[in-house]
Amino acid sequence: MSKMNIRSIWNAVASVALKEFLHVWRDKRILALIIILPPFFTLLFGHAFEGTELTGVPAVIVDRDGTEQSKKLVEHLGKKKTFAWTKLGDASGDPDLLRLRASAALVIPKDWTSTLEAGTPVPLKLFLDGTDATSADELEGRLREMLGEFQGQDDVQELTVKPLFEELPPEVFDALKAVTPESRAKLKVEFQKLVKPWQPETRILYNPGLRFIDFVTPGIIGLILQLLTVTLMACTIAREREAGTLAQLIVTPLRRMEIVIGKVLPYLGISLFLIGVTIGVAHFHFGVHFRQPFMLGIICLLFLLCSLGSGLLISAFCHTQTQAIQFAVFYLLPVFPLSGAFAPIERLPAGVRLVSDVFPLTHFCEAFRMASLRNADFSFFAGDLLFLAVGAIVTCGGAAWILNRTDA
């Protein structure tokens, strides 16, 4: 391609880009939205997901046993902040959570202590509001943890282990005297294995603070950018088609690709600026650290191209702006829950994950977390980058192709 030709293409692309930039620049409402939304959403989502620990959950405790032991349990549970317990006098039947305005209820059954001592304990009864399944799971886990702690206390252990020994027949003790020290040691190990819970020593890698904000930051950045790029871009060609300017644009000698690139460029510039703002907020306000800045730049660029391309594809395909916005909404809707922006994608069933793999945001989050959170090397996210690059080419090329085929 000659120098003159490249210059002529650049001039043509620049004309379209300038025009497209002026459309955004002149629309003060949209401009305000673009500038305010990303930092605002980052703050909002950031704080929303900063600490997910449940505290002060309204709960009810019913002590039908009323012994020293059950009182100790109630006292122990009261020390933890997870639940805000309300003691309830003995009411028969299952507690009505809705009427009690509580999310959980724990019932200590009658004769709990005595059955415990007898070695055949009646189980505690826990009632949970399952409307929000995740919270219910977490509350159950918390309560099990507390009960475990309670059980581990010396006086309680004595209470449960003592009867066990008392009931052993005397022959056992005689037999034990006869065992050699070696087998006694062995027996001790076996016994400990039975009694002690299997407890691993945990060391957390990659996100040692276990801060959810570090995990969710790429999700926030990606989500905001996805939202803005797809909706803004979806309107560009559809708006021109609706206003009749597309015909005017098509009778010019502009090539389809020059129109597509010219339209994408200003939005790409704006989006990159917005990513900078969002990263700034995440870093300075939430203290999120970003590693491999160069790689993150590449990931963001490819993601934006792919995202702008999908918007453009919707735009080329739709006849009016209204249609384009509706399509954009329906495209964006499944992206939120399925892309792994806020919740680990591993929680989704395998079949649904195939759908997740179609969304650029999924690959953006994966690659971003690999590079920034895990400081992984390029080979770990090369596949995601390849997907985004192919996506950018396919969507932009597709938009140009549709533009070429349909009547303006």
How near is the Cβ of 225 to another protein at its closest, in Å?
25
Q: Which of 255, 285, 353, 374 binds another protein (CB under 8 A)?
A: 255
Instruction: List beta partners, residue 60.
Output: 86, 105
Measured between alpha carbons, how far is residue 254 from residues 17, 247, 259, 404 in Å? 13, 12, 7, 11
Interface with another protein, residue 21, by CB under 8 A: no
Contact 103, 56 (CB under 8 A): no
End-to-end CA distance of the chain: 30
Nearest CA-CA partner of 317 in 308, 327, 307: 327
Q: Which of 248, 320, 322, 375 binds another protein (CB under 8 A)?
A: 248
Measured between alpha carbons, how far is residue 373 from residues 208, 292, 382 in Å? 10, 10, 16
Interface with another protein, residue 250, by CB under 8 A: yes
| Cα(382)–Cα(385) distance, integer angstroms | 5
Q: In the complex with another protein, which residue's Cβ is closer, 15 or 114?
A: 15
Interface with another protein, residue 30, by CB under 8 A: no
Interface with another protein, residue 243, by CB under 8 A: yes
Q: In the complex with another protein, which residue's Cβ is closer, 14 or 390?
A: 14
Q: Which span sits near another protein by CB under 8 A: 20-28, 140-148, 170-178, 191-199?
A: 20-28
How near is the Cβ of 313 to another protein at its closest, in Å?
21
User: Number of residues in contact with another protein, rule: CB under 8 A?
Assistant: 26
Residue in the block written with tokens 């605002």 = 40
Q: Is 126 helix (H, G, I), strand (E, B) or coil?
A: strand
In this structure, the strands spanning 125-128 and 83-88 are unpaired
Subset of residues 189 to 208 that bind another protein, contact rule: CB under 8 A: none
Q: Which span sits near another protein by CB under 8 A: 61-69, 77-85, 238-246, 300-308?
A: 238-246
Q: Which residues contact 320 (CB under 8 A, 6 or more apart)?
A: 238, 241, 242
How near is the Cβ of 249 to another protein at its closest, in Å?
7
Interface with another protein, residue 402, by CB under 8 A: no
Q: In the complex with another protein, which residue's Cβ is closer, 53 or 407?
A: 407
Instruction: List beta partners, residue 83.
Output: 57
Q: Which of 6, 27, 190, 280 binds another protein (CB under 8 A)?
A: 27
Residues that bind another protein (CB under 8 A): 8, 11-12, 14-16, 18-19, 22-23, 26-27, 243-245, 247-255, 407-408
